[in-house]
Structure 1
Amino acid sequence: MNTKDEQRVKLDEILKSLFAVSKKVLITMMNSLFKENFDVKMAEITFENNEFVSDDYDIIRGDLFLKISKGNKPYHYHIELQTKNDSTMVIRMFEYGFKKAKELAKNYGNVGETVIYIPKQLVIFVEQNRNIKDELKMKLIFPDGQEIKYTVPTMKYWEYSDIDIMQDKMYPLLPLQVFKLRYKMEQVKNKHGEGSFELKETIMEAKKISEVISKEGSQLFNSGEIDGDDLHRILLAVANLFEYLNTKYGEDVKLNEEVRSMTKTLYDPAVEQRGIEKGIEKGREEGMEKGIEKLILKQYSKGLSIEYIAEINDLDVEYVKAVVKNNIQ
């Protein structure tokens, strides 16, 4: 595998890692992307198989297939993250969707009619491209003249700022703000050449955006919107995406170290602080419980009945009985 292929594999891994976040964050993002309203507490979400055998017996892999269960009803979704567009994209989406539909196919009714459901699909295009429309379109024409229009909505990520992503609660997509600059870097390199002052300036712009996104991720963690693992994934993606761009266009190893150090500085204290806060909260709860137990025992020693203690303190009778039993031999 040559260096270019290695970079491509690493980039794909970085992009796909953005979806390996907590259930709460993932469902919230899916609600926004697909205009759904799943209740985070009630719905369950699972990753589905994303590997299929092609007609040439090769393994083809989609980016993300998810199932969100609402009660006993499953809903299936398919997302592809693309850096560039080509005329075959809509065909690939149809192939992915149809193979997943075959995998999920069931036989309904007495007539033996096979019903297959194509997952809800979305293509997220990261880089600016004026040829990308709001939908990918394809028309299927059968020998009998029957026509079926197949469409897949697209998300033009380059049109979204970090503020937009935050407002729409698509937090796992925040690190892509760094990657958006690849388009600009390519334009600057073609115009001014490698090692140019203008290209170095663009690298520094990417470094600044990396810092902004990292701080926003830390703020989301502190406000309870994401958990520690989510923050870690966001910061790791930011550092890796910056390193990918810097290696490709800048090659300043020192900048890679500075960005990684910055993300670590944000992550460690944030997680430590949350641990302290949880410890304090737990201590308060334990302290409150001990205070209640002390009150129960004091009232019981004064001759009050267990039933009366439960009534005046708005406590469960069985709880009062357990406290008395455990503390009075």
Structure 2
Amino acid sequence: MENDKANSQKSKKKLTRKDREQLKLDQILRVLFKLSKDITIQLINGLFDEKFVSSDVSIAYSNGEFVDDEYDRTIGDMFITVTSKQETITFHIEFQTLNDNMMVVRLFQYGFKKALEEAQASGAFTTGNPQEKILMKFPRQLVIYLEENEAIQESQSLALSLPDGREVEYTVPTMKYWTYTPEMLKRQKLYALLPLLAFSSRKRLKLIYESKKPEKEKSLLISEQFEQMKKTIEKTLEVLGELHDAKEIGTGDLERILRVLQNITTYLYVVTANSERLTRRCCRW
């Protein structure tokens, strides 16, 4: 236990500022997938084109942390298992802000480890019959890309060349979140994702802040982006109010969503600008 504690403290020291920022973002995003059961089922239906009825299924948030024989950890963003009378399906969602060519490789690793974990839990390796075929069921996966990037395709794939000469393609669909408006999210009942619309200006703000433009021009461009973000948040609040009035979102869920929206807004200003001047401007909101 002492070694574990020491290793844990050592790991914390190794965390870079970027790691800490990503960790906080991951925590914020996870809250959105742990709202009420009705909202979560609507979210799963919208993201994976399912037709689950909330009263007919149960949901569980399954393990997303995997430790290998070398004690190295890999952590997936969100695993949700939905069980109905007919079947049990595990869904895996990853959030990304940047395009990453290795994402599909990590998804394969996460999927394999989750399939192995569930096969072991079901007793698939303890039947005593070596001739019995072992079924390992990968979760259904989706990557949600939050920021605009023209290089991102509708899906990400890798090819597996098997020893018998066959080639199998492994494909995971992507969601280009930046293309969605509040009305689109409302129409598809992706209510839990509404607070993420605040991300729409993050990349542009960061590019402006890091550019070599004259300070006066940068200040003007940043102000314009702030105003655009303000309009986006105002529209998001309007849609959330409409959903609450129509009893599509309960008061408890609304309060949690609003807290997330506030945290995301603060996070974006602090991380994107990293400037006391810009942070003070943010806080005047």
TM range (shorter): 0.7 to 0.9
Alignment of 1:49-198 (within 5 A): 49-54=63-68, 56-71=70-85, 73-105=87-119, 106=122, 107=124, 111-191=131-211, 192=213, 196-198=219-221
Other-structure match for 1:20: 34
Alignment gaps of 5+ in structure 2:
1-14
The one-character-per-residue Cα deviations of 1:114-173 (angstroms, maximum 9, x if unpaired) are 111001110011111111111110111122212211000111111111111111000111
What is the letter of the counterpart of residue 212 of structure 1? K
Mapped to 1, the partners of 2:185 and 2:25 lie a distance apart of 21
Where relative contact order (Cα < 8 A, 6+ residues apart) is larger, the structure is 2
The one-character-per-residue Cα deviations of 1:263-312 (angstroms, maximum 9, x if unpaired) are xxxxxxxxxxxxxxxxxxxxxxxxxxxxxxxxxxxxxxxxxxxxxxxxxx
Label 1:4 to 1:153 Cα distance change in 2 as closer, same or farther (>3 A): closer
Q: Return the index of the structure with the highest Cα Rg.
A: 1
- Equivalent of residue 279 in structure 2, options 241, 246, 252: 252
Q: 1:186, CA displacement in angstroms?
A: 2.4
Q: Does 1:206 align with 2:229?
A: yes
Task: Decide whether the 8 Å contact of 2:183 with 2:239 is kept in 1.
Answer: no
Mapped to 1, the partners of 2:240 and 2:49 lie a distance apart of 23
Mapped to 1, the partners of 2:69 and 2:284 lie a distance apart of 45
Mapped to 2, the partners of 1:13 and 1:176 lie a distance apart of 13
Task: Decide whether the 8 Å contact of 1:214 with 1:234 is kept in 2.
Answer: no
Mapped to 2, the partners of 1:87 and 1:4 lie a distance apart of 19
- Note the aligned Cα RMSD (angstroms): 2.1
Q: 1:193, CA displacement in angstroms?
A: 6.1
Label 1:203 to 1:160 Cα distance change in 2 as closer, same or farther (>3 A): same
Q: 1:2, CA displacement in angstroms?
A: 5.1
**Secondary structure of the structure 1 residue equivalent to 2:56:** coil
**What is the TM-score when the length of structure 2 is the normalising length?**
0.84
Which runs of structure 1 show a deviation greater than 6 angstroms over 4 or more consecutive aligned residues?
A: none
**What is the TM-score when the length of structure 1 is the normalising length?**
0.73
Alignment of 1:254-273 (within 5 A): 255-256=282-283, 258=285
- Equivalent of residue 225 in structure 1, options 204, 225, 248: 248
Alignment gaps of 5+ in structure 1:
259-329
Mapped to 1, the partners of 2:265 and 2:24 lie a distance apart of 12
Task: Decide whether the 8 Å contact of 2:157 with 2:169 is kept in 1.
Answer: yes
What is the aligned residue count? 258
Identity %: 37
- Equivalent of residue 264 in structure 2, options 238, 241, 247: 241
Q: 1:181, CA displacement in angstroms?
A: 1.2
Range that drifts further, 182-191 or 172-181: 182-191
Label 1:193 to 1:112 Cα distance change in 2 as closer, same or farther (>3 A): farther
